[in-house]
Amino acid sequence: MHYIYTFLIMLVFWVTLSGKFDLFHLTLGVISSALVSWMSADLFMLDPKKKGRVATACRFLAYFPWLIKEIFLSTLHVAILALHPRMREEIDPTIVTFKTILKKDIARVALANSITLTPGTITVRIVEDVFYVHAISRKAAAGLPGEMEQRLARVFEGS
């Protein structure tokens, strides 16, 4: 089943990139997508027996607008700090650590990327379930891991 999903995604990508719809190019696309999905479908979807991929993808899309809002806020925050005349008094960088409750790798990757994109924090490294986060001020460090972890737990590990 995961072969078919990979094949369809690759075919859509091929058609988008080539932009030609005659028989020759479509045949080439089908052949190369079949080759790629035969060779690397198990890299693309690590666990073939897993159910409910589509539901997870839909929940992730619902998580998206909140993330966009956070990115807007974080860009505003960085802009204010960068253009602040006495910037060195405003910032107070620290490295903090916390343990996450998320179990799956993909959820941890999403959490790390979300932490990087939210105001005042970037992920430095992940060792097992401990996150090392560099925060630019004490206020940003106090808000970790916050609401985001709950949301991601609902997205990736709910039902």
Among 3, 59, 132, 153, binds other proteins (CB under 8 A): 132
Q: Select from 78, 106, 130, 142 the one that contacts other proteins (CB under 8 A).
A: 78
Distance CA 84, CA 122 (A): 21
59 binds other proteins (CB under 8 A): no
Q: Is 143 in the site for other proteins (CB under 8 A)?
A: no
Picking from 70, 63, 49, the residue whose alpha carbon sits closest to that of residue 121 is 70
- Quote the least distance from Cβ 154 to other proteins, whole Å: 21
Per DSSP, the residues of 67-103 read HHHHHHHHHHHHHHHHH-TTHHHH---EEEEEE----
- Tell whether omega for the bond before 48 is within 30 degrees of 0, i.e. cis: no
Q: How far apart are CA 67 and CA 112, in angstroms?
A: 13
Q: Kindly identify the residues of this chain, within the stretch 84-113, that bind other proteins according to CB under 8 A.
A: 87-88, 91-95, 112-113
Residues in the site for other proteins, rule: CB under 8 A? Answer: 13, 16-17, 19, 71-72, 74-75, 78-79, 81-83, 87-88, 91-95, 112-113, 116-117, 120, 122-125, 132, 134, 136
